[in-house]
Amino acid sequence: MEKVKVENVSGNIPEKKFSTGGLTATVWENQGKNKEGLDVSYRTVSFQRRYMDKNGEWQSTNTLRVNDLPKASLVLQKAFEYLVMKEMQSYNAA
């Protein structure tokens, strides 16, 4: 079974990364304004696949091969679980 690597990060960098092999789902915390003009915080998830090209250089893409789909599903599910738990903690703290 493939292991999922989890990274906790802070500052002006991603909030959390979930990766397995060359696939990574990254959670970002963003700041914006709601309809009433109040400051709000919201999260987004980016996804990428890293691979080495024929020249030995690392590249990134969001295109997946068939064999990438199970791993992609895994890291995206972990990102979703993280976001749901984070939301539940926010509601419980209020």
Whether residue 54 is predicted with pLDDT greater than 80 in this model: the reply is yes
- pLDDT tens digits along 58-70: 999 999 999 999 9
Which runs of E-coded beta strand occur in the chain? 5-8, 16-20, 23-33, 39-52, 58-61
> For position 93, what pLDDT does the model report?
78
Which of 57, 65, 70, 72 is CA-nearest to residue 24?
A: 72
pTM confidence score:
0.79
Between CA 17 and CA 23 the distance in angstroms is 10
The mean pLDDT of the chain is: 89
Residue matched to tokens 């979930």: 18
β-strand 16-20 against 5-8: which pairing, if any? antiparallel
Q: What angle do CA 87, 89, 90 make, to 5 degrees?
A: 65
- H or E stretch at 79: helix 69-93
